[in-house]
A and B are shown apart, each in its own frame.
Chain A
Amino acid sequence: GEDVEQSLFLSVREGDSSVINCTYTDSSSTYLYWYKQEPGAGLQLLTYIFSNMDMKQDQRLTVLLNKKDKHLSLRIADTQTGDSAIYFCSRGAAGNKLTFGGGTRVLVKP
Chain B
Amino acid sequence: NAGVTQTPKFRVLKTGQSMTLLCAQDMNHEYMYWYRQDPGMGLRLIHYSVGEGTTAKGEVPDGYNVSRLKKQNFLLGLESAAPSQTSVYFCASTLAGSYEQYFGPGTRLTVT
Partners in one complex: yes
Q: Which residues of A contact B (CB under 8 A)?
A: 1, 4, 8, 31, 33, 40-45, 48, 88, 90, 92, 95-103
Q: Establish whether residues B43 and A100, one from each chain, have CB atoms under 8 Å apart when the complex forms.
A: yes
Distance A103 CA – B43 CA, assembled complex (angstroms): 9
Q: Which of A44, A88, A95 contacts B42 (CB 8 A)?
A: A88
Q: Which residues of B contact A (CB under 8 A)?
A: 4, 31, 33, 40-45, 48, 50, 56, 58-59, 90, 92, 94, 96-101, 103-106
Q: Establish whether residues A95 and B48, one from each chain, have CB atoms under 8 Å apart when the complex forms.
A: yes
Distance A100 CA – B92 CA, assembled complex (angstroms): 14
Q: Establish whether residues B105 and A42, one from each chain, have CB atoms under 8 Å apart when the complex forms.
A: yes
A-B CB pair tally, cutoff 8 Å: 60
With A41-B106, A42-B4, A43-B90 known as contacts, the answer to whether A98 contacts B40 (CB < 8 A) is no
Neighbouring B residues of A40 by C-beta, 8 Å: 105-106
Nearest-Cβ distance from residue A26 to partner chain B, whole angstroms: 13
With A43-B90, A97-B48 known as contacts, the answer to whether A102 contacts B41 (CB < 8 A) is yes
